[in-house]
Amino acid sequence: MNIFKNIIKCLLVSVALVGCDDLERFPYDSIEQTQSFQTVGDAATWNTGLYASLRGSVYGAFTYATDIQADQLNLTLEYGNRNGFPYRWEGFLADDGLLAGHWSNYYSAINNINVALAGFETIVTEDEAEEDELDQYRAEAYLARAFYYHNLVVRFAQDYDPSSAASDLGVPIVLEYDLQARPSRNTVEEVYQQILADIDAARPALSQVAGSSGAQRFNIDILRALEARVRFYMHDWQGAKALADQLIGSGRYPLITTEEGLNRMWTNDFSQEVIMQLFVSAPNELANVNDVYLRYNGADDVFLPDAIPAQWVVDMYEDDDIRKNVYFTNDETVRISGLEYSDIWIVNKYPGNPELFTAANTNYQQAPKVFRVAEMYLISAESALNIPGANALTPLNALRQARGLDAVSVSGDALQTAVRDERFRELAFEGFRLDDLKRWDEGFTRRDPQNEMLLLQGENTFTKSVEASNPKFIWGIPTFDITINPNLADQQNPGW
């Protein structure tokens, strides 16, 4: 939204003009910050921008980059060096634009939120209805900030370890917009406590907004889903499971049980089991796209994917699993380096919603699914593994049976494997895999490629082995931020 640009612009201008003769004049094409938040209507305009910003902070590289870095995918000879450094784990440096893009996008969104929260305090409401509306906007700002901080601390810091979180370096907590600020990194514990504080600040107003499938704006169920995810990553197993079970038990998000229904979810944005699905509209309000898996050439009716799944990944899905023919297809012609193949499995989870096409062929546009109830079943099951006497089989088997699989009756290590495998299958290509391996303290070896002749060659490609201790499971603080902020100079993550 232009209001964000104008706010930042006016702040920069105000700093530049200190000492000028006429401080009362503002640029003709922007507004000064104190003029930006005068009415609840101004807050509503900003709130619209919050969701546009959120839509720009999910999907695309925010989803597929970590999956390419992990073990499910192989880059083909069509990749054009897109995502090559993280895939190879070699030449992947702190000045990589991928790191900087994630970091700057999240912090830019946080800074906009900080400006708005301060601006909301200057608005004088006319009546109780306006005050309630403003409270809603505050709550949505707090919850969005919690979402961004969680994404930052998961990707740029150690996994939460209750025994060391109070000393492990997290990310800088910035709660006020200040051009001169040069914040140091807070601890992982401090960042998570700030996330929980923002969730708590959002709770009173959002408690008045009931959840519903496919919701496009924050509500109490979305708050619960985020808090369940956060507590899950904190190893607060009791808290995470209770919140996940509450969402499961609400009955508002029944699991899809047919291949046709699942295909509608991933192709047509059918929202039966989606807790939050962002608004997208063609041609002007579009989202980031997960286009690396298909790259369709309509003129020749062929696909030129950057990344294809390893064979073992496809084989993780039984033929009766309704996800297999939704998440993958091998019925299309794939062209790699001028040669055509008719028997290659490609990822088809993000084919593009025909209602959002802006031309004759797919533009890969989907309504981003930020939270799904299937994740809550997996949080419930994995949390139960860590709670004495808790039942992991019930949520695990509920998800398995909904997807066409038989229930399992296992315990101990076999149950842990079953839970992790189900998380792998259900959340494939949604950006969770690298963080899951990091949480589980597991390395990997890429294996069983479909056809080596199609793939990027070299020892760091489709046979790459990565130890759990490899420092690049955690991304480095971008070089630019290290350079301009002396308080970060000695706080870079190891290995970068």
Residue 362 belongs to a domain = no
Residue 419 lies in a domain: yes
Mean pLDDT of successive 10-residue stretches along the chain, which has 496 residues: 39 32 40 76 97 98 98 97 96 96 98 97 95 98 98 98 98 94 97 98 98 98 99 98 98 98 98 98 97 97 98 98 98 97 97 97 97 99 98 98 98 98 98 98 98 96 98 98 96 97
What is the model's pLDDT at position 304? 98
Pairwise CA distance, residues 135 & 204, whole Å: 9
How do the residues of the chain divide into helix, strand and coil, expressed in percent and rounded to 5?
Answer: 45, 10, 45
DSSP element (H, E) containing 371: strand 369-372
Task: Cis check for the bond before 283: say yes or no (omega within 30 of 0).
Answer: yes
Residue 67 lies in a domain: yes
Any idea what the CATH number is for the domain that residue 199 is in? 1.25.40.390
- Sheet with 334-336, edge to edge strand ranges: 296-297, 302-303, 334-336, 339-341
Same domain, 326 and 408: no
Answer yes or no: is 57 within a domain.
Answer: yes
Number of domains in the chain: 3
Note whether residue 285 is domain-resident: no
Q: What is the pLDDT of residue 33?
A: 60
Q: Are 428 and 324 in contact (CB under 8 A)?
A: no
Question: From residue 23, how far is each of 26, 32, 115, 255 by CA, in Å?
Answer: 8, 11, 21, 59
**pTM as predicted:** 0.93
Domain containing 26 equals 1-32
pLDDT, position 28: 42
**Residues 198, 333: one domain?**
no
Considering the domain architecture, whether residues 398 and 440 belong to the same structural domain is answered as: yes
The answer on 206 and 259 residing in a single domain is yes
Domain check: are 334 and 435 in the same one?
no
Whether the CB-CB separation of 147 and 467 falls below 8 Å is answered with no
- 158 and 270 part of one domain: yes
Separation in Å, CA 192 to CA 148, 188, 423: 12, 6, 24
| In-domain check, residue 308 | yes
DSSP states of 224-270: HHHHHHHHHHTT-HHHHHHHHHHHHHTSSSPPP-SHHHHHHHHHH--
Domain annotation covers residue 107: yes
Contacting residues for 256 by C-beta, under 8 A, at least 6 apart:
262, 265, 270, 272, 273, 322, 402
Only one residue has tokens 């760091």, namely 460
- Is the domain of 235 the same as that of 384? yes
CA distance 424 to 426: 6
Tally the residues of the chain. 496
SS3 174: coil
C-alpha span between 225 and 330 (Å, rounded): 34
Same domain, 310 and 161: no
Which helix (H) or strand (E) segment is 346 a member of? strand 346-347
Angle at 366 between CA 363 and CA 367, to 5 degrees: 150
Residue 454 lies in a domain: yes
Cβ neighbors of 232 (< 8 A, separation 6 or more) are: 240, 244, 379, 382, 383
Nearest to 70 by CA among 452, 451, 429, 456: 429
Contact 195, 146 (CB under 8 A): yes
Tell whether 128 and 246 lie within a shared domain: yes
With a CB cutoff of 8 Å and minimum separation 6, the contacts of 189 are 165, 166, 168, 170
Contact 457, 88 (CB under 8 A): no
Same domain membership, residue 137 and residue 213: yes
19 and 120 together in one domain: no
The full 3-state SS of 278-315, as one line of letters, equals CCCECCCECCCCCHHHCCEECCCCEECCCEEECHHHHH
Does 24 lie in the same domain as 43?
no
Distance CA(318)–CA(424), nearest Å, equals 13
